[in-house]
Structure 1
Amino acid sequence: MKSNEMNQKMHADQIEIGPPVPNDLMGKDKAALLLAEADHTVTITAADHGRVLRKIDLTILPVLLTVYCLQYLDKATLSYASVFGLIKDAHLRGQDYSWLGSIVYVAQLVMQPLIAYSLVKLPIGKFVATMVLGWGITLCCMVAATNFGGLMAARFVLGALEASVAPAFIAITQMWWRRIEQTNRVAAWYSMLGVVNMLGSLLTYGLGHIQSRLHPYQIIFLFCGTLTVAFSIVIFFVLPDSPMEARFLKGDDKLIAIERLKANQMGVASRVWKWDHLKESFLDIKTWFWFAMIFSVSIPSSGISTFGPLIIQSFGYDSFKTILFNIPFGAVQLVATLGGAYLATHWKRKGPVLLLLCVPPIIGCVILIAMDHTASHRGVLLFGYYIISFYPGISPLIYSWSSQNTAGDTKRKCTTAFLFIGQSAGNIVGPHLYTPSEAPRYLRGLVSNLIMFLVIILLVVLTTLYLMFLNKRHAKRRVQVGKSAEIADQSMMDKKTWNKYEGGAHSGNNGQQSFEKAFDDETDLKNEDFVFVY
């Protein structure tokens, strides 16, 4: 047996599948292996940087946008179906409809540990394509579900398969874009929620008018499911597993794509599961701050997304007007998500933007709680409902805040899994705070939502203070090893400033950033060159 094969077996805290690697690269990122195998080095010019970034944006981003759009459209079919008689036809009573909203997230919660492991070990492009194919087939099969039991089973399978999408997209964003570029890309695919709430409402309006032996909601299930199955084939052939395996990058472009990521200090992909990373993720205080934040925003998110059309209907509109009046809700979501990401990128700060995004939903909840739900107050009630929809801008900033402050392949995937366990738990709770019997006020749900937005404000302040503390601790560690206390974080430089450095490595002295551990698969807490973003 070759010596490096023996070394793979001897590492008790690592699990690796694949061809043997040199001893000095054991446990490191796969990007380090590709750079070691290259017979030359590259220096990134401004032109190279822009050209490769455009290729990545034009190839990877459209896939992410479309898949996330399909995922939310498929998930939202339940709320559209409720307006077209699903509750009555399926004989749903009491909490039945709320459970149909929650069961998707129960499945997602259960699946997160397996998803985290799979994202480390499996080729991510093919993994995503397989999951999308599975949930598309499941949605088509929902046409045959005519009672509570059948709908629950189908929704559980749907949730289990959809559980991979957002964690996979965060991993993909981390492996393709610099930290300053990540916030806008995460916001771009997350903004598809707003697009779906606009286009999905129009699509549902059209499908609902089709005369057929099928119920309108069955036509919606079949159409969306077929569309999803068709796109899974595109994903399989277009979405690469990593920059190291991207067919659309020719010549030195693979090396340039990897060199661009050095300043992130996060690595690209290791395909090695490390138990010490899992332990650190679990014990890291900031993991739990983000867990609490995403849990808090998911409670109103799931409740409003499940009962939103019913809330509008309670203002006195018929089914078709209810669907149409949901379109501005999506438009506000789109503006809040992309606008929040723009501000966070421009200011290079997440905390202040998150605080701003909490204000409109708080005002909206107060309006819906305080005003009588009568026809004479429709205008004010719609305004309150629409400004609540600023909340979708919060989640992508939490995702990107977490991803930008977590290094080490296994730790990144585990931290993301913890976040989505929190999100799933919040999404399970949210719909149960609203029940059809409480229409039209839905007082319990709205009051709980108001409290959650206030909790998020407190958590943002605590997280910011903790990240500032971690930066000071890393500065002291750099001084201890002979480096500069203050360093220029190239990963958060805008294009003009970054081009002055030409993407080159520096010694780590005189305020320049060291890249010696960039692809060592070190965690953020252990790599003193890592700079936390607050």
Structure 2
Amino acid sequence: MAESKAINDRENIELVVSQTNDDNVIEKQIEDEPEARAVRRKIDLHLMPVLFFTGMISAVDKIVVSNAALYGMTKDLHINSNGLSWIGAIVAIGIFCGEVPAAYLVQRLKLNLLVPTMIVLWGAFTMLLGAAQNFPTIMALRFLLGFAESPIFPSCQVYCVMMYTQAEQPLRISIYLAALASLIVGPISYGIGVGGKDASIASWRLLFITMGGITVLWGFWTFFLLPANPATWRILSDKEKYVAIHRIQSNQTGIENKRIKWYQVREALLDPKSWVLFLYQVLIASFTGGLTTFASLIVNGLGYGPLQSVLLGMPTGAMQTSSAVICAIVGVQAKNIRCLTMAITCLVPLMGTALIWKLPTHLKHGRLAAYYLAYCFWGAYTLSASLPAQNTSGHSKKVTNNMMAFAAYSIGTVIGPFFFHAAYENGYITLMCCAAIAIPLAASYAGICVLQNRAKERAVAEGRYDHTDHVLSEELLDITDREKRDFRYQY
């Protein structure tokens, strides 16, 4: 039965194998570690820069609204702080509303066509923000921007699972989730703020048009850069395709399958791990919604001028990215310390928000340093984002878990801006509570993994798992982690 479920996966693999003439050479390549590393380096070189810049452009188009507000958008369009909270939240609402159709599109369409199309669309909506004349238009365009973006990170997640082993995934996920957007937004915003004073168009409008234009150009370029899957990637030879597929065999997470299997969807929704991780990510993602929507305004409120605030926001991207990379590296150094790393990392933004709240207002440099510390939340989030990829087998189940993860991100990003709309002090206190509650949730996820692993070991010892011979090994079949006898959950 399990073999019949994998028939779609098998077609691409068998095609690659049939096109390769020397089986002995292939087997030697698979066993030859330097050859496998060479294939991984080739995948890294051609795939990761594309995913990295796509993730960065996605963040740019969302956070630029903070600088636009600083440059007069709220004044020109008569938007108050509550309206700005809604402008920050509506993107996440668009992403959330797009999650179900996005999951379907990721399941059914070729990713190398889907991702570029969505990038061009959200870039166009960003450009149109520069022509907005009122609050409702801004809201509508920001919603459409989020809706168009909804398939992007699930697609990146699928790419990561298809191309990399479990040990390699956390670092790659931290790369495409790298939050260096402020390093792009900062200099461009500063240049527009300085040079756009005498322009016939308002600086905030020019900001949207510039950022959206960059996104559209990048979207068209990705049509030529992204693959559909490793078995059909033109840059890989037949031998390299074969090696690429067998490199991920140890993941036991299967490969791409375009047929939706509803029993896998149901299994994902009934798994307690899924919901614990969902709650954890909602809490951590609320930092994104709150801090990025009001980023420049928060710095401005510490006592810095508008142009200073734009430039002083740049280190936040470095803090986010460095925390993500450090957490990813630490998380794979020893077995099953990811959840512990996630819990410990939550202490840093908890401390940062507490210091911003309690330090005297005249210590603006100290409060700014504490503000930077709060951005270490991103390390905890990116490490948590690697868990669904590593702990899920079965393509439909993976897509469902990815959808839940990005729904959690959307919800957190929706509620985050409203922590700040009444008073910044309330925002800092609420974010402290979010970080504090996230710590026991990380511990709970680890505990569930331990219990499920023990239950599976008992089932194996009692002979409740049949050992069935397959034309393809069990690791490559499109069956779930519960169905695989040797699958163990990572935490």
Structure 2 length-normalised TM = 0.93
- 1:96 counterpart (83, 89, 93): 83
- 1:83 counterpart (70, 77, 83): 70
AA in 1 matched with 2:435: F
- Give the secondary structure class of the aligned counterpart of 1:144: coil
Task: Give runs of aligned pairs for residues 83-482 of structure 1, distance below 5 A.
Answer: 83-191=70-178, 193=179, 195-211=180-196, 212-348=199-335, 349-373=337-361, 376-435=362-421, 437-438=422-423, 442-481=424-463
Contact 1:286 1:463 in 2 (8 A): yes
Distance 1:72 1:24, change over 3 A: closer
Task: Give runs of aligned pairs for residues 520-531 of structure 1, distance below 5 A.
Answer: 520-531=477-488
What is aligned with 1:13?
none
Could you tell me how far apart the structure 2 residues matched to 1:136 and 1:305 are?
19
AA in 1 matched with 2:433: I
**In terms of mean alpha carbon deviation, does 123-132 or 519-528 score higher?**
519-528
Could you tell me how far apart the structure 1 residues matched to 2:3 and 2:117 are?
31
What is aligned with 1:12?
none
Please list the CA deviations of residues 297-350 of structure 1 after superposition, one character each: whole Å capped at 9, or x if unmatched.
011221011112111111111100111111222222121111111111212321
Between the aligned residues of both structures, percent identity stands at 25
- Give the secondary structure class of the aligned counterpart of 1:180: coil
AA in 2 matched with 1:430: G
AA in 2 matched with 1:519: L
Q: Does 1:70 align with 2:57?
A: yes
AA in 1 matched with 2:193: G
AA in 2 matched with 1:456: A
Q: Does 1:53 align with 2:40?
A: yes
Contact 2:349 2:435 in 1 (8 A): yes
Contact 2:465 2:485 in 1 (8 A): no
Q: CA shift at 1:113, angstroms?
A: 0.9
What is aligned with 2:13?
35
- Give the secondary structure class of the aligned counterpart of 1:95: helix
- Give the secondary structure class of the aligned counterpart of 2:260: strand
Output the aligned Cα RMSD.
Answer: 2.0
Distance 1:431 1:267, change over 3 A: same
- Give the secondary structure class of the aligned counterpart of 1:268: coil
Could you tell me how far apart the structure 2 residues matched to 1:253 and 1:331 are?
35
Could you tell me how far apart the structure 2 residues matched to 1:483 and 1:300 are?
43
AA in 1 matched with 2:478: D
Q: CA shift at 1:116, angstroms?
A: 1.0
Please list the CA deviations of residues 33-73 of structure 1 after superposition, one character each: whole Å capped at 9, or x if unmatched.
23334236532111220111011001111110111111111
Contact 1:31 1:244 in 2 (8 A): no
Q: CA shift at 1:229, angstroms?
A: 1.0
Q: CA shift at 1:515, angstroms?
A: 7.8
AA in 1 matched with 2:5: G
Contact 1:411 1:523 in 2 (8 A): yes
Q: CA shift at 1:177, angstroms?
A: 0.5
Contact 1:29 1:519 in 2 (8 A): no
Contact 1:201 1:323 in 2 (8 A): yes
Could you tell me how far apart the structure 2 residues matched to 1:480 and 1:240 are?
43
What is aligned with 1:532?
489
Contact 1:297 1:426 in 2 (8 A): yes
Q: Which runs of 5 or more structure 1 residues have no equivalent in the other structure?
A: 1-22, 485-506, 509-513
**In terms of mean alpha carbon deviation, does 128-137 or 522-531 score higher?**
522-531
Contact 2:87 2:142 in 1 (8 A): yes
- Give the secondary structure class of the aligned counterpart of 1:237: coil
AA in 2 matched with 1:76: I
Q: CA shift at 1:136, angstroms?
A: 1.0
Contact 2:118 2:148 in 1 (8 A): yes
Q: CA shift at 1:389, angstroms?
A: 1.0
Please list the CA deviations of residues 60-102 of structure 1 after superposition, one character each: whole Å capped at 9, or x if unmatched.
1111011111111111110111111111011102511110000
Contact 1:81 1:217 in 2 (8 A): yes
Q: Which runs of 5 or more structure 2 residues have no equivalent in the other structure?
A: none
Distance 1:29 1:306, change over 3 A: farther
Contact 2:9 2:478 in 1 (8 A): no
Could you tell me how far apart the structure 1 residues matched to 2:351 and 2:81 are?
30
What is aligned with 1:498?
none
What is aligned with 1:7?
none
Could you tell me how far apart the structure 2 residues matched to 1:405 and 1:198 are?
33
- Give the secondary structure class of the aligned counterpart of 2:130: helix
Contact 1:299 1:430 in 2 (8 A): yes
AA in 2 matched with 1:165: I
Could you tell me how far apart the structure 1 residues matched to 2:481 and 2:56 are?
32
Could you tell me how far apart the structure 1 residues matched to 2:294 and 2:81 are?
14
Structure 1 length-normalised TM = 0.86
AA in 2 matched with 1:308: A
AA in 1 matched with 2:439: I
Could you tell me how far apart the structure 1 residues matched to 2:127 and 2:161 are?
33
